[in-house]
Structure 1
Amino acid sequence: MFPTVTALLVFFLFACYTTLASDPDPVQDFCIPNTNSSLLPSSVGSNLPCKNSSEATPDDFVFSGIKTAGNFKKTGFSAISVNPMLFPGLNTLGMSFVRADLDVGGINVPHFHPRATELAYVAEGKVYSGFVDSSNRVFAKVIEKGEVMVFPRGLVHFQMNIGHSPATILGSFNSQNPGLQRIPTAVFGSGIKEELLEKAFGLSARQISVMRRKFIPIP
């Protein structure tokens, strides 16, 4: 009797954990955010108040903002994140989207999404793409137009355009607020004590200072 009760308890706790660790299931067909509400939160991960379903229109479920690339960074990378703030029809559905473009030689720096698994589809180009698991094993290869790669939730991943023309990637997430942590910025652009960084990376104080100037966010 006792082992059975214990097993059921463990299963129950595990089920609760996996439920709480993902976006909640919707309790209605859709929830178009009421942008006129004074209760509208600033975070796309919060529960947004819904407007009356009778006020919804087809336009709430169509987004046209990824027809062209966004603004490029010095790394030759551009990304347009599509979340409920931009695309109301996504709200409460537990998913979001991104269009990423890479110039020739451009990179998407190592980063991870703490709350979502990503599925990346190469719409154009040739991209060196991969992720690193928790044992530091690298899973990477060149993927081309028409191919898809998955990046498991919370694992560091990266991309680089190795082709002779621009590349475009369409990514989907199983969370409406997947989160984003870029490794270089998180390490050198934060307030971590320089002495610790020197010891962790075997760099001099001068080298750490150079790295900090590259990655500290500009106000």
Structure 2
Amino acid sequence: MNRSQRLLQLLQLLREHHFPVTAETLAHRLDVSVRTIYRDIETLKHQGANIAGEAGLGFQLQTGFFLPPMMWTENEIEALILGTRWVAHLPDDPLKQAATSILAKLQAILPEPQQRLFEQTTLYAINQWLPVNQDIVACIRLATRQQKKLHISYENEAGQQGERMVWPFTIGYFNDKMILAAWCELRGDFRHFRLDRVQACKVIDEYYPSYKKQLFQQWCISQRITITADRN
């Protein structure tokens, strides 16, 4: 690895951490000395990178600094393409439009060699989804994003109608189904609702008394689900 590549990788490592990271940690990740990290940090600062921190306390890349597109490896580009192509086929119109927009923006900013990789990539994720009401999907995603209570009318597998007040915290995409995971006030426990069986819903102008992230973590434990955490 030459020095230019190392500087780019150092920027990427700083970007992955949401909190200050020590020079020792960075040196271990890049297989260089701590002294080299200090020199590289100073070089990046002189090149315009807004890096806060100091020796002994750790370093953090401040928000607003964007990495150049050549930071992406071939595998990373293919992962981006595969992921956005998958989202582009979800039964969720706003997300489909966003994924299509991301692909167009990605292609526009890639350097020429990576443009060819983009054009020649044949990775696709193909799913057949059960039809869902787009207004209901938008309503549920809004309540989830805003961490507000949601009133739903629901039909179970037996065709029985019911109404629930829930605290929505995540939507899962499983094979052909979209599943809402939420805390159900009636049952006093986590419950799952297929979006294709939700007949109507309404966002209640009331925040539920817990953080969405906490509910998600508790749900993962209850379901014995292991989620790979983001580096921070």
Q: Report TM bin, short chain.
A: under 0.3
Bigger Rg over Cα: 2
Structure with more helix by fraction = 2
